[in-house]
Structure formats: structure tokens, C-alpha cells
């Protein structure tokens, strides 16, 4: 009996693998909005490399950079509809799905990316990966980019009063909207793929981003000054469709998770280096001026943006803000 049972199980397994082979590998699409030569771009390519090595013939990963497949406006829906399996939006772009993630957008909350990392790896940070499951999204990892700098098409950019009345492109985030309103500026939510042209044609006067994004999108060619404000963070959460993920055969899910872990370590280690490299390239290009700020200048920006914290404390939760603050020590 046992022998026949084993034979049947074996036949079923053979039939299954035969069917799987006939169908070919599972195609996994990873869509994102930045260039390959950025921390996220490199992370996605690493994920492909490791996943295909760990799951040969079982999985094929296709990476679509530069909003080629889906841009900001459509990528979340695309994951929920199963048109793409992985995306890694900036943490600023999730506020329609959970208010808690807005904590990452509070200006001057984190001293640096090391502090951001400590918070992401804490129990409170890890819990956020599961906070959108009820909306169909499963967070798998945090990926770093870096601290944000502020740029405009004006010569002077040292103090908050220098941006009064200016128009700024922002990511789709209510916190960032409040941040620019606190400065007396006019924020405009806009997809990443549209920013260069908006800066070039003067639809907006400025934007905030990391060195690697500024360089790879050539924003420095259409801006006059980039102030080293480090006032906020651009990091990512890699998310997938929770139902699809839970429904994967266990060995595939395990391999993809391992590939994700390796890609995460790789990209997070690289992020600082790429931003430093691109800061130098911007300097060498000599198009936009890089404006260092004194301690007093930074304090003035911090003070001007401070009201934002109170405004969002209720939505985010005081305890989460405190947990994030602790990561600075
Ligand atoms: C932006 O929209 O400015 C960036 O967050 C894009 C990205 O994914 O880095």
C-alpha cells in the first residue's frame, strides 16, 4: 500500500513538474521609476540575477526601469491587478494605503540613513511591512536611497525665505505638501517621469531629491542651485501582491525571499556610494551650484518645517514618531 502510495505521489510530482516545464518559468515583472544606475535600479537587477540563479528554469525576472512599464500613477494598481509582481515605490507614495508610513516623510526626523536603517529594522519598522496587507499589498523589504536635498532655479537658496512663493514638484504625499506650505511655497504633486520637463519649462521652480536621482534625471542641468539640506529621506518599500505571494509554491516563495534579502543587502550597501559619486558628478558638471549650509541655516529650515509634525501626529501616532526618533541615538 505504502509503495503504491509513494508511486502515485511520485507520478503526481512528475506530472506536475512536466506541466510546469511545459508552461515554462513563472514570469515575474519588477517595475520601477528610476534609472538602472541608482540604488533602486541596481537592487532590482541584483534581485533578477540572484532569483534566476536560485530558481533556474523556474522563474524569469523581467526588470522595467524608468517608468517604462508603469509610472507613479499606475504602479500600485498594476500590482493589485497582477499586471506586475514587484514594485518599490518611495515611502512617500503609500499614504493612500496606510497613514503610518507618513512617519518617514516628517522633515528632519532622521539624522541620517543609518538612523533610518535602525528604525526600519526595529519591531515598529518591521511591522509597517505588514501594515497594508488588508489592502492587498505585502511589504518584503526596505531599500535605501538617501537624504533629500532641495533645488531651485534661483541663485540664492540658503534660508526658508528664499523659497517663498516658489512652485515645487512633490511626490504624492500629504506630508510633503504640508512641508512646502509651511515654507510659504506652492507644492504640486507630480509623477517622477514628468519632473525634468516641468523643471525645464518652468512649470515648477524646484524639487527635492537625492543626489543619485538628481544626477540620473539631469535635474542639475535645469536647476541653478542645490542646497545641502538633508531635510528628509527617500527610501523604498519593495511590495508585492499579498494574495499572489501567499499562493506561490513554497520553494518559489523561499527562493524569491532569499533573492530579495540578498538584493536588499547589496543595494543598501551601495546606496551611499552611488549618492556620493553622483554628488561629485554634479559638482564636476558645473551646471547647478551646490550650496552648503551653515548650522544656523539648517536650524532655520528645521524651524520653518516644524509645524508639519504636529499636523500629522494624530494620523501617524505619537508612539511611532517616538520610536523613529529613538533610532537617532
Ligand atoms: C521621486 O518620485 O521623486 C522619487 O521618489 C523617485 C524614486 O523612486 O526614487
What is the set of domains in the chain, with CATH numbers? 21-326 (3.40.190.170)
Say if ligand 1 is within 6 A of residue 98 CB.
Answer: no
Residue 13 has a pLDDT of 38
How far CA 8 is from CA of 4, 13, 14, 262, in Å, comes to 6, 9, 10, 38
Residues in the chain predicted with pLDDT less than 50, given as ranges, are 1-21
The Å distance, Cα 237 to ligand 1 centre, comes to 12
Model confidence pLDDT, tens digit, residues 271-301: 999 999 999 999 999 999 999 999 999 999 9
Model confidence pLDDT, tens digit, residues 241-267: 999 999 999 999 999 999 999 999 999
Residue 22 has a pLDDT of 54
Which residue, by CA, sits nearest to atom 1 of ligand 1? Answer: 192
> Hey, what's the cell of 1?
500500500
Model confidence, pTM: 0.92
For a pocket test of ligand 1, which of 41, 104, 213, 275 has the largest count of ligand atoms closer than 8 A to its C-beta? 213
Say if ligand 1 is within 6 A of residue 33 CB.
Answer: yes
Residue 17 has a pLDDT of 42
Which residue, by CA, sits nearest to atom 5 of ligand 1? Answer: 90
Burial track 47-81 (b if 16+ CB lie within 10 A, e otherwise): bbbbbbebbeebbebebbbbbebbbbebbbebbbe
Say if ligand 1 is within 6 A of residue 90 CB.
Answer: yes
For a pocket test of ligand 1, which of 209, 219, 239 has the largest count of ligand atoms closer than 8 A to its C-beta? 209
How far is 265 from 179, CA to CA, in rounded Å?
A: 31
The Å distance, Cα 90 to ligand 1 centre, comes to 6
What's the CA angle centered on 66, arms 63 and 68, to 5 degrees? 70
How far is 275 from 42, CA to CA, in rounded Å?
A: 13
289 phi and psi angles, rounded to 5 deg: -85, 135
**Is 173 within 8 Å of 101 (Cβ atoms)?**
no
How far is 134 from 136, CA to CA, in rounded Å?
A: 5
The Å distance, Cα 30 to ligand 1 centre, comes to 16
Say if ligand 1 is within 6 A of residue 151 CB.
Answer: no
Say if ligand 1 is within 6 A of residue 214 CB.
Answer: no
Amino acid at each position: 500500500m505504502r509503495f503504491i502510495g509513494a508511486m502515485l505521489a511520485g507520478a503526481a510530482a512528475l506530472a506536475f513538474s512536466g506541466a510546469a516545464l511545459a508552461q515554462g518559468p513563472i514570469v515575474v515583472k519588477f517595475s520601477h521609476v528610476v534609472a538602472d544606475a541608482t540604488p533602486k535600479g541596481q537592487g532590482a537587477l541584483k534581485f533578477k540575477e540572484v532569483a534566476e540563479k536560485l530558481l533556474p528554469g523556474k522563474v524569469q525576472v523581467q526588470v522595467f526601469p524608468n517608468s517604462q512599464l508603469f509610472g507613479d500613477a499606475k504602479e500600485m494598481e498594476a500590482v493589485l491587478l497582477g499586471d506586475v509582481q514587484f514594485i518599490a515605490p518611495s515611502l512617500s507614495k503609500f499614504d493612500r494605503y496606510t497613514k503610518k508610513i507618513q512617519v518617514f516623510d516628517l522633515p528632519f526626523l532622521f539624522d541620517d540613513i543609518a538612523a533610518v536603517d535602525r528604525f526600519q529594522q526595529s519591531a515598529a519598522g518591521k511591522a509597517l511591512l505588514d501594515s497594508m496587507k488588508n489592502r492587498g499589498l505585502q511589504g518584503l523589504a526596505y531599500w535605501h536611497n538617501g537624504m533629500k536635498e532641495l533645488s531651485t532655479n534661483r541663485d540664492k537658496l540658503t534660508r526658508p525665505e528664499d523659497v517663498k512663493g516658489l512652485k515645487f514638484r512633490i511626490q504624492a504625499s500629504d506630508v510633503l505638501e504640508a512641508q512646502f506650505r509651511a515654507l510659504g511655497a506652492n507644492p504640486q504633486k507630480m509623477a517622477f517621469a514628468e519632473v525634468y520637463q516641468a523643471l525645464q519649462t518652468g512649470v515648477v521652480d524646484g524639487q527635492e531629491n537625492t543626489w543619485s536621482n538628481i544626477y540620473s534625471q539631469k535635474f542639475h542641468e535645469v536647476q541653478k542651485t542645490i542646497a545641502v539640506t538633508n531635510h528628509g529621506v527617500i527610501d523604498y518599500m519593495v511590495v508585492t501582491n499579498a494574495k499572489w505571494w501567499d499562493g506561490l509554491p513554497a520553494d518559489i516563495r523561499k527562493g524569491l525571499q532569499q533573492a530579495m534579502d540578498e538584493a536588499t543587502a547589496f543595494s543598501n550597501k551601495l546606496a551611499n556610494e552611488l549618492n556620493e559619486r553622483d554628488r561629485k558628478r554634479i559638482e564636476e558638471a558645473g551646471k547647478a551650484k551646490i550650496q552648503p549650509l551653515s548650522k544656523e541655516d539648517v536650524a532655520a529650515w528645521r524651524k520653518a518645517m516644524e509645524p508639519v509634525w504636529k499636523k500629522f501626529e494624530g494620523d501617524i501616532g505619537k508612539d511611532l514618531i517616538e520610536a523613529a526618533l529613538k533610532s537617532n541615538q
